[in-house]
C-alpha cells in the first residue's frame, strides 16, 4: 500500500518480536535513546552501568517514551569503531536489566551486526534498528525474519557515492535495502524506514529532506526519524553544544509529524512529547476540517 500525506496517519500495526506490536499512524510515538557508550556525541559516558540505564529508562517511560533504543557503539562522525564483543558486553546486560525492571517496555537494539542483533533479541529486544540499512551485514535481515523482530532500516550516505538529488538517493538506497529484506523473508508489517538525518548529509541536504519529506511516503512504509541534537539543527539555531539543541529538535519533531513521520528517536523525551501533542492536535483538527 502506497502512503500519502493523508493516509500516513491511518492506523497500521508494527509487528515486533516476542508477540508484541505497536500501532503507528494516529499518534506520533517517541523512542528514547539509551547510549551505553563512552563516546556518543551528546550523552557518551552518562550510562555507565545497568542500574544507570534502568533509571534513565524509567524516567523516559514516565515521560511517555513508547520505545527504548539501546546502542553500544557510537555512530557519530569520526567515532572509533568497536568490535562485536565490546558492543555486546555493553548492550546485553542493559537489555537484560531493562527486561526485568520494565517488562512492559518495548526495547530496540541499535546495531548493524547480525550476531549482536540475534543475541539482543534473544535477551529480550523487540526491534532491530540498523543504521546501515541491511547493507553492511545483510544477514541481519534473516535475524529479523526468523525472530519476527521489528526492523528499522536506516538510510546512510556513508562509504558510497550518493546521487545528487536527496530523494532520488533515498529511493535508490531503500530499493536495495528492501530487496535484501524481502529476499530474507522479512514481512512488510515488520518494517519501518528511517531517512537517516545527519548520516553523511550536510545541513542543506537535511533541510531539503525535511522540505520534501512527504515524497518518502510513496515507499509504502511508516517512517522513523532521528534528528535529535544533530549538527544541522545547530547550524540553523546557532547552538554549538549538542545538549543545547533540544528545543530545535522539538521543532523538527512537530514539522516532521505534520509531514507524516510516525516515530521520533530523541534524547529529551519530555520536550518532544509536548511537540508531538501540539502537532497531533493540529492534525486532528485538519482531519475534521
Of 12, 119, 257, 265, catalytic: 265
Calculate the alpha carbon distances from 28 to 12, 37, 121, 126, 175 in Å.
12, 27, 25, 19, 26
H or E stretch including 51?
helix 50-62
Q: Is 262 helix (H, G, I), strand (E, B) or coil?
A: coil
Q: Is there a catalytic annotation at residue 230?
A: yes
- Let me know: does 152 contact 133? Beta carbons within 8 Å: no
Picking from 152, 223, 164, 146, the residue whose alpha carbon sits closest to that of residue 191 is 152
Catalytic residue of the set 230, 231, 245, 257:
230
Whether the Cβ atoms of residue 225 and residue 198 lie closer than 8 Å to each other: no
Please say whether the beta carbons of 70 and 91 come within 8 A: yes
Q: Is 220 helix (H, G, I), strand (E, B) or coil?
A: coil
Q: Measuring CA to CA, how many Å separate 226 from each of 152, 203, 246, 263?
A: 12, 14, 12, 9
d(CA 44, CA 146): 33
Cell numbers representing residue 184 in the block: 530474507
Active-site residues, by number, are: 230, 265
Amino acid at each position: 500500500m502506497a502512503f500519502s500525506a493523508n493516509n500516513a496517519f491511518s492506523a497500521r500495526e508494527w509487528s515486533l518480536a516476542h508477540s508484541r506490536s505497536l500501532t503507528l499512524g494516529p499518534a506520533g510515538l517517541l523512542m528514547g535513546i539509551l547510549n551505553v557508550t563512552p563516546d556518543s556525541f551528546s550523552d557518551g559516558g552518562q550510562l555507565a552501568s545497568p542500574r544507570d540505564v534502568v533509571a534513565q529508562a524509567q524516567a523516559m517511560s514516565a515521560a511517555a517514551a513508547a520505545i527504548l533504543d539501546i546502542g553500544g557503539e557510537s555512530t557519530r562522525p569520526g567515532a572509533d569503531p568497536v568490535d562485536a564483543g565490546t558492543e555486546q558486553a555493553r548492550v546485553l546486560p542493559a537489555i537484560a536489566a531493562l527486561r526485568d525492571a520494565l517488562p512492559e517496555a518495548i526495547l530496540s537494539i541499535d546495531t548493524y551486526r547480525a550476531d549482536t542483533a540475534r543475541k539482543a533479541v534473544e535477551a529480550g529486544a523487540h526491534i532491530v534498528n540498523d543504521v546501515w540499512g541491511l547493507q553492511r551485514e545483510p544477514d541481519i535481515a534473516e535475524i529479523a525474519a526468523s525472530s519476527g523482530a521489528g526492523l528499522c532500516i536506516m538510510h546512510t550516505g556513508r562509504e558510497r557515492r550518493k546521487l545528487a538529488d536527496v530523494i532520488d538517493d533515498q529511493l535508490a538506497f531503500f530499493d536495495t535495502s528492501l530487496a535484501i529484506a524481502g529476499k530474507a523473508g522479512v514481512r512488510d508489517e515488520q518494517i519501518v524506514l528511517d531517512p537517516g538525518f545527519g548520516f553523511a548529509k550536510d545541513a542543506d541536504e537535511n533541510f531539503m529532506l525535511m522540505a520534501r519529506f512527504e515524497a518518502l511516503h510513496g515507499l509504502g512504509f511508516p517512517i522513523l526519524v532521528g534528528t535529535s541534537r544533530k549538527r544541522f539543527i545547530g547550524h540553523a539555531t546557532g547552538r554549538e553544544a549538542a545538549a543545547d539543541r533540544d528545543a530545535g529538535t522539538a521543532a523538527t519533531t512537530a514539522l516532521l509529524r505534520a509531514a507524516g513521520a510516525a516515530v521520533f528517536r530523541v534524547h529529551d523525551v519530555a520536550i518532544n512529547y509536548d511537540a508531538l501533542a501540539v502537532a497531533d492536535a493540529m492534525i486532528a483538527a485538519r482531519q475534521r476540517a
